[in-house]
Structure 1
Amino acid sequence: MPTLKINESACIKDGLCATICPMQIITPPKGGIPPEPKPEFSKWCINCGHCVAICPTGALSHSSMDASQCTMADKKQIPPPDQFEHMVKYRRSTRRFKNKMPDHATIDRAIRMASYAPSGHNLQSVNWQVFTKRDDINRLAGMATDWMRHMLREMPNAPHAPVLKEVTQAWDQEKDLVLHHAPCLIIVHSRIQTGTEPTDAAIALAYFDLAALSLGLGCCWAGLFMMAAKLWEPLQQYLELPKGHQLHGAMMTGYPKFEFQRLPVRKQPIIQWRP
């Protein structure tokens, strides 16, 4: 149950904690009386840490975090717009990987950076599963291909049948068009509590994608794998997700085999400015 303590000797009574609280469950300071949590604080607090993060004197201590546990914010570390724009334009889907496995520390760091992605109600419910063994990844790709063969038998004239046929034929020639012989596969899953979890997971994977880029890794969203994993029971059983959890996304990652030299042109965004 969330609780909040305020060090009155350190509090300067600026009221920032009460103003910034998204749930408005902190009473603003009045006169010489410091702010304090409202009676409903424990019920409605979402453990976002805004109150602790905003306090200039570190006077607040939340049951989920103390000011001393939080890294000091440094705006100088934020890349300027030109650098950030170049980074997001530089990011490409990687389907050709070096035969080199990223070490666990590198993957762990990218996941920890991605864990700062926003989530509905700040539930931070995304769970990560990391496959790094070649046999496991090959088996996952093979089971996805089995689902495609099943679909081709059951629905040979379906709109996506030509793609599935190409992928299965490539697999027979020892070419993996499902997971592209990636050295690492990451999947995200969670229990559905509020309905925002699939979106939360997608945002977390997008954060991971950019975090991985900063660490020299390339990524590719595993769309074909996800199609199979959503529908093919043998594949679902192999993943061994916790009971009640749903799979939300999958991403290949590893060191890119090639380096792009240019930033491709994109379609112009369609923007409607409302008066």
Structure 2
Amino acid sequence: MPILIDQTKCANDGLCAKECPMGLITMNDHMPTIAEYAEQRCIACGHCVAVCPHDALSLRNTPLEACPPLKEGWQLTPEQVEQLLKGRRSIRVYKQQDVAREVLLNALDMARYAPTGHNSQSVQWRIIYSGQRVQELVDVVIGWMRKMIEDKSPLANAFGMSGLVRMRELGADPICRNAPHLIIAHAPKDDRIAGSSATIGLSYLELAALPLGLGTCWAGFFQIATSMSLEVAQAIGLPEGHQSFGAMMIGYPQWGHHRIPPRKPLQMSWDAGAN
């Protein structure tokens, strides 16, 4: 069975049965029982392990020791979360200073815990570490834009590609903003949920970067180019059968920010159901 229960530790409180998203654990005679079809349906999400306060459950391929306990006091206050989310800024001016590889790996190690559809965990990461290599890729993107302009593509006008090309000709980097590094989230092309998983993973990366003193910005023009240009897609060197689902600039911000600019008012509606 993919789920193991240590009956000497089990308190028979039924938390694991209530928590399992696949309904693979039931309570029989007040004892948790694993369904016979669990082998085929278990997605190894670990919810049963995480919810048990008695350390009575583990996954067959994941020993309990590989699931560290949450530290006391780990929860942020609402005020701290509000400052974190509202105070985050997209960084477009970076120090020309490399980020140590272990720091980037630390951020990605946190980002990989982002939720994925059906616990697929199919998102992989490619780090363009060399600033020179980032600039080479920027030139490939600009080359694609020139072709779009020549072909009179409607997208060239919609995205202001003529202005972007002109900025590059003047020595600026309108694509990756001279960021020292670029991180690409990729996954198999035929993975139907990879796009959503990658977007969530990049969002986690964006937040994980903040306490490490890093700034990020979504590389939208770069991602559009990788999705539309075979030359750009091949230039980033992804594994066979993979495609980019998002890219993010990352580095040390040139300066900090001190205020929270306003956003549009919240637009929402309630569906309260029948009263």
TM-score (norm 2): 0.94
For the residue of structure 2 that corresponds to 1:246, the secondary structure is strand
Q: Which of 37, 56, 59 is the aligned partner of 2:56? A: 59
Rounded Cα–Cα distance in structure 1 between residues aligned with 2:131 and 2:271: 51
Separation in structure 2 between the aligned mates of residue 85 and residue 171 of structure 1, nearest angstrom: 37
Report how many aligned residue pairs link the two structures. 272
RMSD of aligned alpha carbons: 1.6
CA distance in 1, matches of 2:191, 2:35: 25
How many percent of aligned residue pairs carry the same amino acid? 36
| Deviation, structure 1 residue 161 | 5.6
Aligned counterparts of 1:49 and 1:37: Cα–Cα separation in 2: 14
Residue 96 of structure 1 pairs with residue 106 of structure 2: no
Residue 68 (structure 2) aligns with: 71
Moved over 3 A (4+): 156-159
CA distance in 2, matches of 1:65, 1:156: 51
Q: Which has the larger displacement, 54-63 or 42-51?
A: 54-63
Counterpart mapping for 1:1-275 below 5 A: 3-31=2-30, 34-74=31-71, 76-155=73-152, 160=157, 163-192=160-189, 195-275=192-272
Deviation larger for 59-68 or 173-182: 59-68
Write the deviation string for residues 145-173 of structure 1: whole angstroms up to 9, x where unpaired.
00110011001665636721111111111
In structure 2, relative to structure 1, the CA distance for the partners of 1:238 and 1:192 (3 Å cut) is closer
Q: How has the CA–CA distance of structure 1 residues 129 and 157 changed in structure 2, closer, same or farther, with 3 Å as cutoff?
A: closer
- Cα distance in 2 for partners of 1:194, 1:38 equals 28
Instruction: Give 1:129 shift.
Output: 0.3
Q: Name the aligned partner's letter for residue 124 of structure 2.
A: N
Given that residues 216 and 255 in structure 1 are in contact (C-alpha distance below 8 angstroms), is that contact kept between their aligned partners in structure 2? yes
Report deviation, 1:46: 0.5
Bigger Cα displacement from structure 2, 8-17 vs 177-186: 8-17
AA in 2 matched with 1:87: L
**Helix, strand or coil: the match of 1:28?**
strand
Shift in alpha-carbon separation, 1:35–1:233, aligned structure 2, 3 A: same
Instruction: Supply the AA of the counterpart residue of 2:16.
Output: C
Alpha-carbon deviation of 1:114?
0.9
Q: CA separation in 1, counterparts of 2:155 and 2:231?
A: 22
Deviates most, 69-78 or 137-146: 69-78
TM-score, normalising length from structure 1?
Answer: 0.94
Give distance in 2, aligned partners of 1:120 and 1:45. 14
Q: 60-69 or 36-45: which moved more? A: 60-69
CA contact (8 A) 1:52 1:66 kept: no
Please report how far the alpha carbon of residue 135 of structure 1 lies from its aligned counterpart in structure 2 after TM superposition: 2.0
1:48·1:122 contact (CA, 8 Å) conserved in 2? yes
Which has the larger displacement, 45-54 or 34-43?
Answer: 34-43
- Please say if residues 219 and 252 of structure 1, whose CA atoms lie closer than 8 Å, have aligned partners that are also in contact: yes
- Deviation, structure 1 residue 187: 0.3
The answer to whether the 8 A contact 1:155-1:161 is kept is no
Instruction: Work out whether residues 19 and 28 of structure 1, in 8 Å CA contact, stay in contact via their aligned partners in 2.
Output: no
Provide, for residues 155-201 of structure 1, a one-character-per-residue CA deviation record: whole Å limited to 9, x for no partner: 16656367211111111111110011100100001114552210110
Once the two structures are TM-superposed, the CA of residue 245 in structure 1 deviates from its matched residue by 1.4
